[in-house]
Amino acid sequence: MGMVSEFKEFISRGNVVDLAVGVVIGAAFGKIVSSLVDGIVMPLVGLLLGGVKFGDLAVTLRAAELDAAGKEIAPALLLKYGAFLQTTIDFLLIAFVIFLVLKAYNRVRAPAPAAATPEDILLLREIRDSLKK
């Protein structure tokens, strides 16, 4: 079997195609949730915290160095923890939304409980089993 035919067999399996579709949809879904976080959730959280924008939160480790004319020689060294907080909140919200979607999907996909077997079928099975003996 040649490499081309092996590759064709591999790529035509359902799992590979399903995975590719899942990755593409997941990337688009991640963009939607990131937009939700950046455009709606974080501004509301910032408003509740007194107008703070999370992306701008930072600790100055070293101030910018200026020359005699006031021109910047070396930029300030900042520890930008706000961007980290915002990314962490993005991740948690995306994970929570995916959890909710999967929970709803599993509820819809759960197999229906088996219906009770009617009495006449049970009686016919008993007759069949007794005739086999």
What ranges do the domains of the chain cover?
A: 3-112
**0.85 cut: is pTM over it?**
no
For the domain spanning 3-112, the CATH number is 1.10.1200.120
CA distance readout (Å), 133 to 78, 121, 122, 127, 129: 86, 19, 17, 10, 7
- The pLDDT of residue 117: 84
Residues of the chain with pLDDT under 70: 1, 14
